[in-house]
């Protein structure tokens, strides 16, 4: 899994079109979304994650919580983003993993949204620019060497 973490004044998105034949079904109110003072987690789920989804979910949640507490962000946006890797996991596996990350984060005291999966989306972001405002993380199941 590859994550790009951006601390932003806000993140807003608008669903434009289907990017998969069968995108995640969404309600009207999910076609647009916005959070203020947010840690945006742009996530590419990778093939290697299919070997142990539960472990990568746990590691991703820990990383996101750790960064959120350091930058004192109470809002997190889980954002499916297929552009951080050339070895993407299958969509059905990726969606399940992203849903689990959202659920686990919600168990804590963070306010969490997840952007819809399987769509082209317009989005606006306002990176804060402090030293911890732009971070990336590579997460793999243990026992898997990550080819650089
Ligand atoms: C396109 C761009 O504007 C938008 N932001 C986009 O990326 N859309 C992606 C994700 O929502 C999702 N998706 C499919 N596979 C994956 C995967 N392995 N990991 C994460 N998302 C995935 O399916 C869409 C097409 O790849």
**Ligand 1 mean position to 113 CA, how many Å?**
16
Rounded distance between C-alpha atoms, residue 132 and residue 121, angstroms: 26
Q: Which of 16, 19, 30 to mutate to test the pocket of ligand 1 (most atoms within 8 A of CB)?
A: 19
The model's pLDDT over 59-108, given as tens digits with 9 standing for 90+, comes to 999 999 999 999 999 999 999 999 999 999 999 999 999 999 999 999 99
pTM attached to this predicted model: 0.96
pLDDT digits (tens, 9 = 90+) for 100-139: 999 999 999 999 999 999 999 999 999 999 999 999 999 9
Ligand 1 atom nearest the C-alpha of 43 is: 20
DSSP characters over 9-47 = EEEEEEEEEESSSSPPP--GGGSEEEEEEEEEEEEE-BG
């Amino acid at each position: 899994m590859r994550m790009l973490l951006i601390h932003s004044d806000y993140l807003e998105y608008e669903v434009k079109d289907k990017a998969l034949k069968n995108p995640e079904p969404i309600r009207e109110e999910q076609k647009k979304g916005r959070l203020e003072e947010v840690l945006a987690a742009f996530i590419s789920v990778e093939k290697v994650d299919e070997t142990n989804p539960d472990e990568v979910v746990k590691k991703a949640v820990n990383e996101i919580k750790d960064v959120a507490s350091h930058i004192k962000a109470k809002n997190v946006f889980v954002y499916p983003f297929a552009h951080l890797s050339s070895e993407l996991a299958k969509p059905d596996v990726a969606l399940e993993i992203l849903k689990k990350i959202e659920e686990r984060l919600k168990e804590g005291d963070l306010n969490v949204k997840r952007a819809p999966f399987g769509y082209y989306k317009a989005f606006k972001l306002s990176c804060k620019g402090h030293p911890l405002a732009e971070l990336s993380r590579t997460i793999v199941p243990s026992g898997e060497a990550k080819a650089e």
